[in-house]
Structure 1
């Protein structure tokens, strides 16, 4: 008798359809849902949650793997997928803040995080989420102007996700992201925007061209300025160099005159030096008189000619002494040798 009971159970299990053992529904759609059958030994697939009722009342949520249920009184009421689900949001009209009518559609990515709330919190989760996405998108688009819709599409997507998550929290559903897929506008608005874009491009081209001319003029003026500065600096340096040359020449001449005067003063301390100085003065006086005598209309008569005669006599005697001095010195040198 003990061996006959397992055979009856196995035969009862094998009599069930094979597809009914693993029949599950992976969509959020409530109307198209096909529930799994209670086969006593139930195998729940990965990333699915089965909501079980006992005699019409919620009992528990089955996790993936083998689960045992009582026949007849236990039933699989809901099968909720735990994977990320992509939903297409149909086209809808929305009016921006500046009264421009747009037609938008998108894609919504959601996931069930609480199978109990998704089963009992809302009648049709898929329909509810789609309607919520449409109304939220229409509301968020109405808060901004048309240019902002194009420039800040990512910001708009984030705002829609936050609004959906806030409203769908009692349903056990979380919105992961929302993407605006297509955006249409009236033909006249498109033509006006195209004209605006062309005008903006022409404006930028004109600005760039004017900036190019301005930069070129600035560069030319800067070049001329630098040329003038360099020329003035070169002229200033030339004048400085000339002044330095003149100053050095004056200093050298003064040093030479100082050295000459030093030699003259040393020579004047000697007797022969004084005689040489007198000879030099006499020669210059004679030359001066000769120069004046060349003039036809000039006649110079000194008041007293005796000093000149005595000066000439003295100069001739000095010259004779100076001419005799080298001979006597040569004789002395020969005697020393």
Structure 2
């Protein structure tokens, strides 16, 4: 029977032995109280306490933690906007006592300070400035939290404004404004491109006209030079300038007829086109030149007589 009693005694002893020891994980601090009063802070490793006398009051993580706070406020231009502020904080290893006993709900305390700072800073800014100066808002939140939470054993590592969400109607209006601006810029680029095309086309046409005019001028210059040479040759054989000019015109007339005859599909008709047309043209031109010379000589004599009478 004595052996049967040893088994429960050993079991109870084993349980009491386990109650003497406990394990603290890495990056964790354990607060131990004795009869309800703070006794010590235990760090990672195998730790010992007195059963029924000491108890584990709580455990605090020494890792960096993050709290996301969403704040709704109004900007200077009366736009309601939601800001998501991410606060990264950590319990100071040397101030575990303050973090455990002085502040019961650290998340609520941090949230309150974030609300206070954001609602004090954002109403001073317009909506566009909130997007541009979000880092300034984050710095202001960290500065306020750092001063307040240090007393309670918390260190603020970093604060970030991770999201800015205006009212849905405001976002729709901003999208329309952005789309209008982009359409305006696109229209300006298209207008510039069209203007460049028109200018370049006009330049090309002007250059084409210039070259065409230069070609015509060169052509006429060569024709005139050829006519001059032809007249000189005819003069050498006793044909005066008037007769030579008429002969050249008649020759060109027949050359034109020959060129028209070579075109099989042409509808062009050159008038007059009778067999004696060339002879008539030559006689008419010679007669016209003769009459012109006579009129010119008569006018010259009349002018000379007038000048002589004026002199006397």
Task: Give the TM-score normalised by the residue count of structure 2.
Answer: 0.52
Match of 2:43 in 1: 63
Inter-CA distance 86–210: structure 2 relative to 1 (3 Å threshold)? same
Q: Distance in 2 between matches of 1:142 and 1:166?
A: 23
Q: Does 1:118 align with 2:118?
A: no
2:139 alignment partner, one of 140, 151, 158: 158
Inter-CA distance 217–52: structure 2 relative to 1 (3 Å threshold)? farther
SS in 1 for 2:125: coil
SS in 1 for 2:57: strand
Q: CA deviation at 1:146?
A: 0.6
Q: Distance in 2 between matches of 1:10 and 1:110?
A: 47
Give the CA RMSD over aligned residues: 3.8
1:102 alignment partner, one of 58, 70, 81: 81
Q: CA deviation at 1:50?
A: 0.9
Inter-CA distance 175–208: structure 2 relative to 1 (3 Å threshold)? farther
Inter-CA distance 15–198: structure 2 relative to 1 (3 Å threshold)? same
Inter-CA distance 190–174: structure 2 relative to 1 (3 Å threshold)? same
Q: CA deviation at 1:135?
A: 2.9
The superposition leaves residues 84-122 of structure 1 with CA deviations (integer Å, 9 ceiling, x where unpaired) of 223332x43211122211123343322111311111221
Q: Distance in 1 between matches of 2:192 and 2:135?
A: 35
Q: Contact 1:52–1:62 (CA<8 Å) still a contact in 2? A: yes
Larger fraction in helix: 2
Structure 1, 99-108 or 79-88: larger mean CA deviation:
99-108
Aligned length: 200
Gaps of 5+ in 2: 1-6, 202-312
Task: Give the TM-score normalised by the residue count of structure 1.
Answer: 0.49
| Counterparts of residues 184-195 of structure 1 (less than 5 Å) | 184-195=165-176
Q: CA deviation at 1:217?
A: 10
Match of 2:67 in 1: 87
1:168 alignment partner, one of 131, 149, 174: 149
The superposition leaves residues 137-186 of structure 1 with CA deviations (integer Å, 9 ceiling, x where unpaired) of 33332232210222333443333233222221111112223344443322
SS in 2 for 1:46: coil
Match of 1:15 in 2: 15
Inter-CA distance 13–146: structure 2 relative to 1 (3 Å threshold)? farther
